[in-house]
Structure 1
Amino acid sequence: MSAPLTKDTDADGPGRLDFTPGGAAAPFARRVLRQARFEATIALRNGEQLLLTLLLPALVLVALTRVTSLDLGAGDRPALALGGVLALAVVSTAFTGQAIATGFDRRNGVLRLLATSPLGRGGLLAGKVLAVLALVLVQVLVLGALAGALGWSPSGRLLLAVPAVLLGVAAFTALGLLLAGTVRAEGTLAAANFVWVLLLAGGGLVLPSPLAPVSDALPSAALGTALREALGAGTLALGPLLVLALWALAGGLACARWFRWE
């Protein structure tokens, strides 16, 4: 007797038939990776997402590098500019992009359907986080190449930025999901874009915040500072990293408590 057919709606295409022994679901890791690939592919094909996650950060990078009247702090200007723009890129993808996409998925019932599928709630959330990490990796490569063309010299300091990027992704993904899971889709769209503008203007992302030390408690200022110090000075900013870790923990706990799937 031939093995039963099961429907698989992953990145290979909706409605694709997949042979699984006894009709069992694919292994959990495989399901999560397929969901992550699907979400990352959709984001890369979305013009508005590309504008938010790649084009605008690239324009900001060029402006920060060329406009010397902007004070980035002491150190190599292209490196400091790249640090601030990578912080902006993380927020664009992990918070703004994820909040908007999840908010409309929730409104349209997609979250509810996927949560009751073999993927499950945990698999869906894990897939979203992996998709964000994949998109951030693309941003690092593209923006790093652009910074190199503007005078930045890649070095081992890039490895020092990894903890800040990972903690930033964790914190802002949690905050984005919290917003998407508690506010209506239209409200999420407005709030996510408004917060993005505020953080760009004065949240300490691309430029040192004039509101320090008050702003130092914000995840945006912590991420911007940690990345600028890693790329500009070659040091680990332990204080900002701790702030990011606390925001990631608080955001995760808040999601577990208040996130609504429909």
Structure 2
Amino acid sequence: MTLSTPAPGGSPVRQAGGGTAAPLPARVLRHGAYEALGMLRNGEQLVLAIVLPLLALTALVLTPVLDAYGPDRIDVAAPGVLALCTMSTAFTGQGIATGFDRRYGVLRFLSTTPLGRSGLILGKAVAVAVVLAVQLVVIGGAAVLMGWTPEPAGILPAALLLLLGSAAFTALGLLVAGTLRPEATLAVTNLVWILLAAAGGVIIPAASLPAAAEPFVSVLPSAALGDGLRAALVDGVFDPIACLVLLAWAALASLAAIRWFKWS
């Protein structure tokens, strides 16, 4: 059966063989579910998405690393680890998966189906959101069992920050995966994840870093997400600057990915 060019919007796609493809939203949701299941079934990605954040949370609670940044270790650690989860899924996990899909021709093939290029990208965003939701339940639940009590007034601002952070890091992951070789993507995404986790304002607040580094770190998406989540979930306040920084990164990385992404 020959496939037709995807129709704009959400209208069904007429196939050359007489069939009709599902509307775009349904195609996107199905592909997103497929990718999410693939990520959750992959042992390496499961370690990155669940095991490492749980280990980081446990280590931060049991050691005095965060004693200088708040009255309770868990209250400071939990928002930072949730930001770490966003980075691991949206940037590292999605970047690596997309890079190898590109090498093996999966992206080129799927872009010619009724899913189309826009549907493929939207499906990946849906997959990131699904995996992130699983991470929030698991990591957030573990933090609550450790004594975490997030500020109720900060739940909605935190949700907004997580959405913007997911968009920014997904766009950055796609940019790397669409411009570098898979091996380089694997190295770059893992190295950047380690650097941002250690000194990018994710766990340690940007304001607590050396004065010479603080202005540069504070404009990173990692610092915006980490500091914004701490402001929301610890103090119950909305950080508009963090939202603007994440929005700017999401927009710039998306434009760059659209401009330079190579499908094969």
Q: What's the TM-score once normalised by structure 2's chain length?
A: 0.89
Matched with 1:202 is: 199
Report the residue type matching 1:213 in the other structure.
P
In the TM superposition, 1:149-228 aligns within 5 A as 149-156=145-152, 157-209=154-206, 210=209, 211-228=213-230
In the TM superposition, 1:38-77 aligns within 5 A as 38-71=34-67, 73-77=69-73
The one of 112, 120, 137 aligned to 1:116: 112
Offset of 1:219 from its aligned partner? 0.7
The one of 17, 26, 33 aligned to 2:22: 26
2:79, 2:230 within 8 Å by CA — same for their partners in 1? yes
1:93, 1:132 within 8 Å by CA — same for their partners in 2? yes
1:140 equivalenced with 2:130 (yes/no): no
Report the residue type matching 2:79 in the other structure.
G
In structure 2, distance between residues paired with 1:35 and 1:175: 20
**Runs of 5+ unmatched residues, structure 2:** 4-16
Matched with 1:13 is: none
Report the residue type matching 1:169 in the other structure.
S
Matched with 1:252 is: 254
Matched with 2:12 is: none
2:151, 2:236 within 8 Å by CA — same for their partners in 1? no
Greater mean deviation of Cα atoms: 143-152 or 200-209? 200-209
In structure 1, distance between residues paired with 2:63 and 2:172: 32
In structure 1, distance between residues paired with 2:68 and 2:79: 10
Matched with 2:124 is: 128
In structure 2, distance between residues paired with 1:191 and 1:167: 22
In structure 2, distance between residues paired with 1:70 and 1:170: 28
Q: Per-residue CA shift, 1:80-132, capped at 9, x if unaligned? A: 21100000000000000000000000000000000010100000000000000
Greater mean deviation of Cα atoms: 223-232 or 75-84? 75-84
Q: Per-residue CA shift, 1:53-93, capped at 9, x if unaligned? A: 11001111111122124346235432221100000000000
**Runs of 5+ unmatched residues, structure 1:** 8-20
In structure 1, distance between residues paired with 2:252 and 2:140: 31
2:151, 2:232 within 8 Å by CA — same for their partners in 1? no
In structure 1, distance between residues paired with 2:216 and 2:87: 20
Offset of 1:153 from its aligned partner? 2.1
Q: 1:127 to 1:91 in 2, by over 3 A?
A: same
In the TM superposition, 1:87-102 aligns within 5 A as 87-102=83-98
In structure 2, distance between residues paired with 1:96 and 1:247: 16
In structure 2, distance between residues paired with 1:170 and 1:32: 16
2:66, 2:77 within 8 Å by CA — same for their partners in 1? no
Q: 1:181 to 1:69 in 2, by over 3 A?
A: closer
DSSP-derived class of the 2:201 partner:
coil
Offset of 1:26 from its aligned partner? 1.3
In structure 2, distance between residues paired with 1:26 and 1:155: 42
In structure 2, distance between residues paired with 1:76 and 1:254: 40
1:83 equivalenced with 2:79 (yes/no): yes
1:98, 1:173 within 8 Å by CA — same for their partners in 2? yes
2:150, 2:233 within 8 Å by CA — same for their partners in 1? no
Q: 1:123 to 1:69 in 2, by over 3 A?
A: closer
Greater mean deviation of Cα atoms: 208-217 or 194-203? 208-217
Report % sequence identity. Answer: 53
Q: Per-residue CA shift, 1:34-69, capped at 9, x if unaligned? A: 100000000000110011011001111111122124
Report the residue type matching 1:236 in the other structure.
F
1:72, 1:80 within 8 Å by CA — same for their partners in 2? no
1:95, 1:176 within 8 Å by CA — same for their partners in 2? yes
Q: What's the TM-score once normalised by structure 1's chain length?
A: 0.89
DSSP-derived class of the 1:236 partner:
coil
